[in-house]
Amino acid sequence: MPADQLSSVFGALADPTRRAILAQLTDGDRSVAELSAPFPVSQPAISRHLKVLEGAGLISRSRRATARLSHLEAEPLREATAWLARYQAYWDESYDRLDALLAALKRTQADEQSPIE
């Protein structure tokens, strides 16, 4: 995946309506009318979101009679996940720091509760 497609994928995911559309498509292909139903936005607004998702390679579109169906293309999400996975060591580190902080707090509390000799 070229670097720019990765930017397009992250850009496409940077919107709650577009993320919700992808979630809907996990249940199967959907028309614009079906995808618009749960949202308080117009079908043209949903169509614009679909264009962004299609541009990022996250959906493909086909025709069924007069309806255009959107189909989830999850492969680019694998690449996005692979990019993020490189940072796992660093978020684990922040957990380690939190663990150390909690352990230090516990020691302090234990010290405070121990009787003065």
Applying CB under 8 A, the residues found at the interface with a copy of itself are: 3-4, 6-8, 10-11, 13-16, 19, 22-23, 26, 72-75, 77-78, 80-81, 83-88, 90-91, 93-94
Query: Residue 109 CB, nearest distance to a copy of itself (Å)?
Result: 25
The radius of gyration of the chain from alpha carbons, rounded to an integer in Å, stands at 23
CB of 28 to a copy of itself, least distance (A): 11
Q: Closer to a copy of itself by CB, 3 or 116: give it.
A: 3
* Selection from 68, 21, 22 nearest residue 41 by Cα: 21
**Residue 66 or residue 81: which is nearer to a copy of itself going by CB?**
81
Tokens, residue 90: 């660093």
In the complex with a copy of itself, the residue whose CB is nearer, 35 or 80, is 80
Closest CA to 17 of 55, 45, 57: 45
C-alpha closest to that of 69 among 42, 25, 30: 30
CA–CA separation, 15 vs 13, rounded Å?
Answer: 6
Q: In angstroms, give the least distance from the CB of 88 to a copy of itself.
A: 8
Of 46 and 56, the one with the shorter C-beta distance to a copy of itself is 56
Q: What are phi and psi of 35, to 5 degrees?
A: -70, -30
Please report how close the Cβ of residue 110 comes to a copy of itself at its closest, in angstroms: 28
